[in-house]
Amino acid sequence: MSADIHIRTDAQAGRITLTRPQALNALTYDMAMAIDQALQDWATDDDIRLVVIDAEGTRAFCSGGDIQDLYDKGRAGDFAYGQAFWRDEYRLNDRLAEFPKPIISLMQGFTMGGGVGIGCHASHRVVGDSSQIAMPECGIGLVPDVGGSLLLARAPGRLGDYLGLSAARMGPGDAIHAGFADHYLPEAEWPALVATLIETGDAGAVARAAQPAPASDLAAKQAVIDRLFDSGDLPSIAVSCDAERDDLAVGIRKALLRNSPLSMACTLKMLGNLRESHADLRAALTLEYRFTARAMEHGDFLEGIRAQIIERDRKPRWKHALISVPEAAVERMLAPLGAQELSF
């Protein structure tokens, strides 16, 4: 087994612990596949009554996917590697959501991108005071994925549009308000909860241990966010933010100027489609994969990684301007993939 993850059984629990704290527990392909195999093994194991997913270190549950290999392969013209990575990761996200036994995730610190896919599809999602959950994909030329698009689409009002385009971080109260978490418990009390879960195999212990969550800042801003994002149209949102000029609107405008216009336009299209169709997770993952399968060759992904992570000049050369993303470009990125469509 990889040194980056510790998978074992303990009394009545299957245990999955991410063990890359020095890399903020970023998820590699091997880690994802190890989790997938463990879930397959435990699904029919009568001795395992529940699964606990946690992580070492205080800074992060999982800061996202490890994208160095994706970038290197894509730069070399190997787009199949990324397509396989995302395809198998999305199947894991679906397995987590559909798992026949309770899964308890304990998400301290940063939970972003791929970490949302591991932690936020669990049946019992626990956050603490350090929790910071976000979907920052538009900043690197992707769209909110790993099933995060469905969570955003189901968030109250236009909150999902705001979170997807701004990459705003949610504290514990925000995460519960937005539907990315279920329970709040101070992190000092997590070891006792895990011990109880292992001993009893009773997932009801999570709700019994939970405490009232801190107030949600996002809930207080809901009316303003709904107004700014009401159009569902990228140029119109930018205009609305210019017209408001309060701190929230100014922050959103800065995010819009920083992120990939193509990614943001596709995100708005995706979330609108998911809301209108009352989609399930598989439909959301299928839509996400249509974009990510094309992201290296036809999108802004490689340029976003170069600018934000590799060279860090923070000066990405996006394919389109904020106010002029062609509708045809959005349709091309989200068009069905035919024989290459995601399957489960």
Per-residue model confidence as pLDDT tens for the chain (344 residues): 578 999 999 999 999 999 999 999 999 999 999 999 999 999 999 999 999 999 999 999 999 988 888 899 999 999 999 999 999 999 999 999 999 999 999 999 999 999 999 999 999 999 999 999 999 999 999 999 999 999 999 999 999 999 999 999 999 999 999 999 999 999 999 999 999 999 999 999 999 999 999 999 999 999 999 999 999 999 999 999 999 878 999 999 999 999 999 999 999 999 999 999 999 999 999 999 999 999 999 999 999 999 998 999 999 999 999 999 999 999 999 999 999 999 99
What does the alpha-carbon distance between residue 234 and residue 231 come to, in Å, rounded to a whole number? Answer: 8
Q: Which tokens hold the place of 65?
A: 């996917």
For 157, the 3-state DSSP assignment is: coil
Say what the pTM is: 0.96
Instruction: Name every residue whose Cβ is closer than 8 Å to that of residue 15 and which is 6 or more positions away in sequence.
Output: 6, 7, 8, 9, 51, 52, 198
179: left (phi over 0), alpha (psi -120 to 50) or beta: left
Domain ranges within the chain, ordered by starting residue: 5-136+166-209, 217-340
Under 8 Å between Cβ of 304 and 142: yes
Q: List alpha helices for the chain, DSSP H.
A: 29-43, 68-75, 79-98, 114-119, 148-154, 159-166, 172-178, 190-200, 204-209, 217-228, 234-244, 247-258, 261-277, 281-298, 301-305, 327-334
Residue 211 sits at φ, ψ, to 5 deg, of: -120, 165
Q: What is the CATH number of domain 5-136+166-209?
A: 3.90.226.10
